[in-house]
Structure formats: structure tokens, C-alpha cells
Amino acid sequence: MTGGSRGIGRSIAEVLAAEGAAVAVNYRSGEAQAQEVVQTITQSGGRAAAVGGDVSEYAQAEAVVAETVAQLGGIHILVNNAGISKDALIYNMDPGEWLDVMRVNFGGTFNCTKASLGPFMSQREGAVVNISSVMGERGWTGESNYAASKGAINAFTRCCAVEFARFGIRVNAVLPGFAPTDMVAGLMDKDGGKGISKQIPMKRFATVEEVARTAVFLAGPDSSHMTGALLTVDGGVSAQVGIGKPL
């Protein structure tokens, strides 16, 4: 579980644990938050371990997988959730901001998926769930680098599904719309998000628990014949025309 110390990642870790999974809570800098998630899980009778590492670096992604196997006895589910945003208009965007977002969001997904293939292929079983975004399928002002990274994840999800199916490995993605996390806080600064929420057919943001439940569904046996799927959790945003900028 990459990026598992807060937001959607934390919720996924807790729901997975409640369903009986032993969870490795990966973090890059938020060790205290990751340990808090581990404590919450263990106090509820589950198994969890905090595993540090910057998954944008392949060697560290390999180390995260190896430590997960060593501490928890194996790996059967990979949730690629680690991500950052550096929003800016393209004209004003520093090339480094594009590269940083791509390196973490898509690079982390690629690195951890590749690093997990050894155990997944040897046991001929595994489930990969990529946390993407509806931004990868639609446009939004000031989100070009973030949207490009998520579009790459969506394409990668489909290709992985095709390549890995013969090994019993399923690869799917969850595409959240707007949920109250630190990642989208900047989009809500102006009016508390009202300009966005009134453009959502369901007139509200997703909760992190709603996104987490979808991810856990894709990780579990109820989705056993699903691979290459991109499931939106967006309250109907991507079903309509005419959005793209808060009113």
C-alpha cells in the first residue's frame, strides 16, 4: 500500500485490514502518520507494518516490496496510491514540476508494479489496484501535469492487464473525482469547494471511504473476472459535458 499514511491511502489500508489483509503502510516522509495507521490497525486486531521508501526510485521500490515480504510473509495485493500534485497553468509551469509529478505518480506505479512481479508470477496470483483519477480521462484548468501522470497510469493499467493475465495477475484502477484530501485542497480554497460540488450531478464530493471500498473490491475475490478496468468514483462528473473550471 504505497502512500498509505494519509487520505485515501490511509482509508484503503484500514478497510483492507478490516477485511483480513495484513497491510504494509508505505510512506516517504510521514513516518509518524504511518505508525499511527499501523497502531489503529493493530489495536483493532489486524496486522500491519510501516515501510519507508521513496517509490519514485526503483531501487527503493524494490526494497519496499522486499521488506513487505520479510515483515508480513508475502505479497498478494499491491495498491499504487502514492502521488503528488504541483498545479500550475502550462505557461507558468516549470519543467521540473512536470517531471516531479510524473516521476512520483506514474513512476511510483511502474516501479512498484515491476518490483512486485517476481512474487506475483512465482505464485501465479496477485491483484494490482492503481489509484488514478478522472483527471486522466478529462481536462481541467491548471492540472496538465497531474492529468498526464494519471492518463499514463490508465494506459499502463490496460497494458499490464493484458501482459499479466496469463500469470493470474489482475490489474485494475480506481478513478476518483473530487474527495476531501490534501491533494485537492488548493481547488477548494476559493469557496470551500462549492463552485465544484454544484457541478457534480450528485452535488457532493466522494468520501475517502467510498473510494477505499472500490479499491478493496478490485483487490478482492468479488472482482475475480475483472482486469484492465477503470472504475470511476466521481458522482457522475465524467458522465456529463460542460465542466472544466469552477463556476
Average pLDDT, the chain: 93
Low pLDDT (below 70) residues in the chain: 181-190, 242-247
What structural domains does the chain harbor? Answer: 7-181+206-234 (3.40.50.720)
Q: What is the model's pLDDT at position 245?
A: 55
Q: What is the model's pLDDT at position 186?
A: 62
Instruction: Check 27, 58, 91, 146 and give the catalytic one.
Output: 146
In sequence order, the 6+-apart residues with CB closer than 8 A to the CB of 188 are 180, 196
pTM: 0.93
- The answer to whether residues 105 and 56 touch, using CB atoms and an 8 Å cutoff, is no
**What secondary structure letter does DSSP report for 95?**
H
Q: What is the model's pLDDT at position 89?
A: 96
Neighbours of 120 (CB within 10 A): 23
Q: How far is CA 104 from CA 56, 61, 83, 119, 145, in A?
A: 5, 11, 6, 23, 11
Q: Identify whether 91 is a catalytic site residue.
A: no
Q: What is the model's pLDDT at position 101?
A: 97
The helix/strand/coil state of 172 is strand
pLDDT digits (tens, 9 = 90+) for 34-65: 999 999 999 999 999 999 999 999 999 999 99
**What secondary structure letter does DSSP report for 49?**
E
> Which helix (DSSP H) or strand (DSSP E) does residue 52 occupy?
strand 48-52
Q: What is the model's pLDDT at position 140?
A: 85
- Among 12, 21, 97, 5, residue whose Cα is nearest residue 55: 5
Q: What is the model's pLDDT at position 247?
A: 46
